[in-house]
Every structure is written in C-alpha cells, then in structure tokens.
Amino acid sequence: MAECVRVICRCRPFNVRETDLKSKACVQMYADTGQVVLQSDNSEKQFTFDGVYPPESTSEQIYDEIVFPLVESVIEGYNGTVFAYGQTGSGKTYTMQGDNSDPQTKGIIPRTFEHIFEATSSENAKFLVHVSYLEVSLLKFICSNLSLSLSAFYFIRFAEVRDLLTKNGEKLEIKEDGENGIYAGGLSLHHCHDVTQCQRLMQIGNDNRHVGATLMNKDSSRSHSIFTIYIEIMLENGSLRKGKLNLVDLAGSERQAKTGTTGERFKEATKINLSLSALGNVISALVSGKAKHIPYRDSKLTRLLQDSLGGNTKTIMVACISPSDNNYDETLSTLRYANRAKNIKNKPRINEDPKDALLREFKAEIERLRALAQSGGQASEDANAIKVEREHLKQEYDAAINELRMQYENEQSSRLKLQEEYEKLKEQYEKASEDLELERRIDNKEAKKRLEILEQQLVGGEQINNVALKEKRNHRIKEAENKMHRLAGNTGVLQLFLSNVGLLWSKMMYNTIFDVIQSKIAELIDRKVFISAALNVHADDPLLHVYSSTQEKLEAVTALYKKQRSKVKSLEAEIDDLQREFELDRVDYLETIRKEEQQIKLLQQILDKIQTISRKDTNYANLDRIKRSASWNEDQGKWIIPEIVFLKTTLPRVSSGIGTY
C-alpha cells in the first residue's frame, strides 16, 4: 500500500548572530493543527505538515511522536529513512546527532541506538545488527574533458563517496543489482551488539567528516552523510526478515553573501547547492506525476536516496528553519521544498526471507559448533577422521617394526642397536599420537571460542521477562498513538494517523481488520473531498442565489469581487516571491558558472603551455585524438580515457660496410 513521505518542520531558537542583528520573528507555529505561518511586510503564507515543532520543543518530543513508529517498523523488517533539510545553521546536525553528553539534547541518531537495542532485548527473536557510515563529499572540480562548453550542472557528478569508518577514507563506487538495489560497493559493515559500540562508531565517523566554518555556522557540514543501520531478524518460527534505516544529515543550502565563503569554501558551497538542486528536481519530478524520467542519476546523493524517494522505504523529512526575518527567503525556500516532498508516494513492504541474510549462515555455523562443543570435540566426522589417522600411524609403526625384524634376521645385527632403533621409533609414534590429541583439543577450544563470538554478535531476548521494560515500550507506543489522535484534524494528518495505527495494531494481529477500516475511511474521505470541492466551486456564485432586491444582489457581487481581488493580490505576491527566489537562484548559478568557467580556462591555459614541452613520443601528443577516444561512464561518473603509451621510433640501420671511392 502506497504512503506519502511524512514531513515535519522544526524551528530553532534565535542564535547570537541573529540577536546581534536585532532580527524579528517571522515564523509562527501551531502544533495542534500542524501549520506554519511565514509572515512578511506584505503578506503571510501558510503551510501544513504532519507535525510542527517550535523553538521550545525538544529532540525527545520529536523522536517519541514521529520517529519512534518508523524505527518500530524497521525492527519489523521495513526500510526506513530520516533526513534533515534546511539552510546552513538551521539545526540539521543538531536534530540528527545533538549533544551526546546530555541526555536531554541527544539527537535522533543516538536515540535510535537506544530504541533498537531496548526493543531487541525485549523481543522473543534473534537480531543481527550492523552499521555503516559514508559521506558524499563535494570536492573541487578537476577538468578532464578540456572543453569550455561543459555544463556546470554536471560538476556534481564528480562528488566522491567515502567510507567514514576506515582509516584512509576509501573512495567508493555506486553500484546496482537486482538483489541489493543501489549501494556503495566496498562499504565496510561493522557489527554492534550494544549502544556503546554504535556511539563509538558514530564518533569515529564524525571525526573523519568534512566540516568548516562560515559566518552562519562555525561547524558547518561541508558534505552529506548517511549513517545506516542494518537489522536482520529471525522470528520464533525460523523465518527471516531484514530492515534498513538510513539516517541522513544533508549539508545546508547557503548564499555566499550571508555565509561569507571564499576560495575553497565558496567552491564547496556551489557544489552543495547544486546537489540539493538535483534533489529538488527529483522531488518535483516525483510529485508532478507527468515526468517520464526521474533524474536520480544527476547526483550521487539522489542515487543513494533513490529507494527513499518513491521506492520501498518509509521516509520522514525534517525541515529545519530559522525564526529570523533576516533569513526569510531561505526559510520560504525550505518550506516550499518540504511542501513538495510531502506529496511523494512510497511503497514500503516487509523484506521477508532475504537471500543475503547473514543470520542464516550464522545459525548453521552456530549449530555445527554447538554440536562439536557439546560432544567434546568427538563429532562423528571428526571422530572418524581421528580414528583413520590413528590406524594410519599404527600401520606405519607395524611396518617399521617388521622391517627392523627382517633386517635383524638378515643381517644379524647387534641386539643393542635394534633396541635403540625400536625405542626411537616408539617415541616417534607416541609423539605423533600426542600431537594428534593436542590438535583435537585445540580444535575443540577454537570451536568454543568461535561459538562464543557468534553468540555475542546475536542480540535479542536478553530482557524478555523484564515487565518494566515492556510496559515502558507499550507506554511510548500509546503516546505516539495519542499524538496521532490529536493531529487527526485534517485529511492528510488523518491518513498519517491511520498508517501509524496500522503499524501499532500489527503487533496485535489486527492487520486484516485495519485494512478493511482503512479502505472504508478512504472511500469516505474521497466522497468528502468530492463534495467539498463541488460546494466550494458553486458556493460563492451569485447567480445561484435568490435575492429579494437588486441592491442585495449588488452587495453580494461586490463582496465576491473583493474576495476574488484579495485572492488575486495574494497570488500576485506569491508570484513576486517566486520571481525573487528564482532571481536569487539565477544569480547564484550564474556566479557558479562564471567561477567554474574561470577554473576551466585556467586549466586550459596551463595545458596549452605544458603541451608545447611535453614528450612527443606518447599517444597524448595528440589531445584531439584522446578526446575522441574518451567515453563517459555513467555509473562511475567519470571519463574513461586511454592509458599513456610510449611510441617506439624505428630508425634505419647504419651500414657496416666501408664505401669505396
């Protein structure tokens, strides 16, 4: 069943910079109705989301009301994604990661760790948890095409995907296949069996992440990061499920005039804005319903998030905004961005019986090792092998004794010499037997050690009898359900409520009843929308009313005219805002193009100088031929160019004969 991307909006408090500028608040939030009102001198704009959180709200409140049901579904075998979007300095990283040293300010990611291991310990099932952490870094463009007509939009294809949990930050390639979908090839997976391990790995990745200072934020993220948690579940009946949770912290969109970025920081900012524009184009194409092609391949970020946008994933978007009127344009852009995203429809499903499940392999190996350990190392096939080896040693020993006996009879050697060789041979036989026994004991010890390691990697059921923990989880589920009840004031929120109730009731095996109820309510909603639309179209038409006098009709027509004129003014203001936003974006893009053209010209001039002094005995002496031989690799996002080949010049042989005159 399709469900829309759930979008919430969070507004941070005023920061020191905005206070020094004496900024005024331009944002009002109404949590009961899920509305955000953006005010300006001329007008105000209203947006409705699945949840709104004013500056005084906490990360715990956001997690319990919105993210908690999503993580519960991941534990059941769904795919999930949570990503934060907004301008630089709007609180995205704070929302996703927070301050881990303070329990009150912990972000979504550390709360997810606690939730997952709390849930697995109270379930009567076995779980295997792995994590990965990657970064999409937007590096300086390197001109490999040598063409001045290269479009600036394609620079984002040269972003690099790096593994944040390896020492060298290995560069990864994005791959795709039928079983695994789209993934980063070579990305390291790290096993975790408690919260501490997850937090340690997240800290390692954060230390390796690319950050920098701007006027808007001293610790601005200069890259997109994706922390992924993989959960494999083995139920009591032996069936397997596999869930995946992507926790995405996007780099912030920014304008150079406000951030004050120059040099490398400015180049990073242009790449960040371009990649976010590519993400916006994907969202627009998905929402329009008319696009024949969804441009996922326009950036590596959209490729990695392809399943989260229109695919097999439950997705939550957290739109982070500033309350300051100094950031009005950026806040309006973020709200419009989020408003489009809430219309994306995904088709999540439980991932049952995955072919690449490690739990299946672990289960088979654990059973084999447990049988070996319980039998003291005397498993049937091992016992047979040892018995055969002993027989082989005994046969060799008997053959050697017979050979010695024959030598004695034939040569009539001294008895003392024969006795020495006999004792030596006996000692070798006993030593070989002892070595065989020692090897068996070592194998048994290693099997037990390996068994302990595998059993430690599996989590689940440690606190299945902990009544207090179960009551705590049930209480949080009821709180999330009550929040959905409070928000069920409009059609969109009602549908959100129904999807969450479906998740919570699935634990009580009421899926069939829920589906019937949901289909009936969907029919009622459709009828309500149809009737409301029909009434709204004709309700204000003065020709459909009966008036007692011409004056009454004139007043009705005048009121309708004023109402329509007010709507026209509102739409004109909206058009002006869009044109201003478009103009700002256009100026940014033109500046980006100018900077990149300057960079290309610089590289071209350097290349022209180098070409005059380069070696002529290589295939790169003719650059035009190299350009014609180059081919673009869509998956790798780079040009495949010929290797350097040194050309051999054959000179004519010099005659060794001496000429005559």
**Residues flagged as binding site:** 86-93
Eight-class DSSP state of 161: E
Q: Which of 347, 320, 343 is nearest to 331 (CA)?
A: 320
Q: Which of 105, 81, 77 is nearest to 12 (CA)?
A: 105
CB contact burial 358-395 (16+ within 10 A = b; e otherwise): bbbebbeebeebeebbeeebebeebeeebeeeeeebee
Eight-class DSSP state of 438: H
d(CA 640, CA 633): 7
d(CA 201, CA 517): 44
d(CA 656, CA 68): 91
Q: Which helix (H) or strand (E) holds 31?
A: none
Q: Which of 659, 638, 657, 658 is nearest to 139 (CA)?
A: 638
SS (H, E, C) 603-622: HHHHHHHHHHHCCCCEHHHC
260: left (phi over 0), alpha (psi -120 to 50) or beta: left
d(CA 276, CA 227): 19
Query: What one-letter code names the amino acid at 510?
Result: Y
Residue 616 token pair? 């002529």
**Residues flagged as binding site for ATP:** 86-93
Would you call 102 helix, strand, or coil by DSSP? coil
Query: What one-letter code names the amino acid at 109?
Result: I
DSSP output for 552-595:
HHHHHHHHHHHHHHHHHHHHHHHHHHHHHHHHHHHHHHHHHHHH
Q: Which residues 6+ apart lie within 8 Å of 23 measured at CB?
A: 14, 324, 325, 326
Residue 331 token pair? 């806040």
Q: Which of 216, 190, 186, 219 is nearest to 202 (CA)?
A: 190
Q: Which residues 6+ apart lie within 8 Å of 318 measured at CB?
A: 8, 9, 10, 62, 82, 83, 84, 85, 92, 95, 96, 108
d(CA 501, CA 481): 7
184, 304 in Cβ contact below 8 A?
yes
Q: Which helix (H) or strand (E) holds 35?
A: strand 35-39
DSSP output for 467-498:
HHHHHHHHHHHHHHHHHHHHHTTSHHHHHHHH
Q: Which residues 6+ apart lie within 8 Å of 288 measured at CB?
A: none
